[in-house]
Amino acid sequence: MTIESNVLLEARGLTRVYHRGSEKIQAVDGVSLTIRRGEFVSFMGPSGSGKTTLVNLLGCLDNPSAGELDIAGRNIFGGGKILGERDLTRVRRELFGYIFQNFYLIPTLTVRENVALPLAFYRKPGVETEVERLLAMLGMEHRMEHLPEQISGGEMQRVAIARALVNRPEILLADEPTGNLDSKRSGEIGEILKDLNRNAGLTIVMVSHNPELARLGGRLVEMRDGQAYET
């Protein structure tokens, strides 16, 4: 396998401009970068540096104002085309799993049901047993029938990770995954992400304010004024 064939995500001149009244805000300014399969890339930077906006573009949560993006050999954005919500959803469900600072678990569903929730809308072949396997892997097998209110914040994020992985995504996109957790729980989630990357070969793209967590990844990208700098 060549290095080129290992490229999972390639961004070329990605730009995102917002307009607030007459003011023009260049949140991401012509970022080009390549992420290979199995990489763990952390984005750091001060508030307003554009790291979350960039990761949203890489994660197909938003359309860029300019630039191109290829994922798994497919051209997602490029040539000025704007993808509608339906097309973006198709890309997201095939390629990505997402975790956020807030866990967004459905309070009336059990842990098992929360993890199985994505399968109610889209199911890749062979993922039927993933719910139990992932919960066991994340040490949550004894909490399967509990409601979110009955488990701790760290456990909730584990459930959110299991939910993000249930459809076997190519890339796990994590936006401040420990933002709502204390340092002990943050460390545990960090270890889980590291294990997923090293042992399962999962590609992870993470945004974090936490330098310790950010350093878990093999690659650190610093964002300043909408531009990305490899460190």
Partner 1 sequence: MITPFQVAYKNLLRKKVRTLLTLVGITLSTWVLVSLFGFNRGYEKALNRDIENMGYQLMVMAKGCPYEAATMMLQGGTGLRYMDQSMVNDIIKEAEVDKITPILMQAFFDPNKGESGGIAGYFGVDPATYPAMKPFFRFRSGGWFHDNSAPEVVMGYEAAELEQREVGDMTLVPEKNVQLKVVGILERTGTQDDGTIFVPLKTLQRIAGIDKITTIGIKVKKDADITKLENKLYQLKDVQVVSFSQVKQTIMKLISTARVMVLSIAIVAILIAMAGVVNTVLMSVLERLQEIGILKTMGAMPGDIFRLVWTETLILCSIGGIAGIGFAFLFARATDLLMRRILPYAPSGGLVAIDGKLALLTLGSIITTGLLSGLYPAWKAGRVRPLESIRRDG
**Site residues, partner 1 (CB under 8 A):** 56, 61-62, 85-86, 89, 92-93, 96, 98, 100, 102, 104, 106-109, 113, 116-122, 128, 131, 163, 167
Rank residues 168 and 194 by Cβ distance to partner 1 and give the closer one. Answer: 168
Rank residues 73 and 121 by Cβ distance to partner 1 and give the closer one. Answer: 121
Closest approach, Cβ 136 to partner 1, in A, equals: 17
Rank residues 7 and 83 by Cβ distance to partner 1 and give the closer one. Answer: 83
Strands 96-100, 23-36: pairing is unpaired
Closest approach, Cβ 4 to partner 1, in A, equals: 29
d(CA 42, CA 230): 10
* Of the candidates 122, 111, 124, 18, the residue with the CA atom closest to the CA atom of residue 64: 18
Closest approach, Cβ 1 to partner 1, in A, equals: 29
Long-range contacts formed by 82-88: CB under 8 A, 24+ apart: 88/60, 88/61, 88/63
Closest approach, Cβ 190 to partner 1, in A, equals: 22
* Of the candidates 60, 84, 83, the residue with the CA atom closest to the CA atom of residue 11: 60
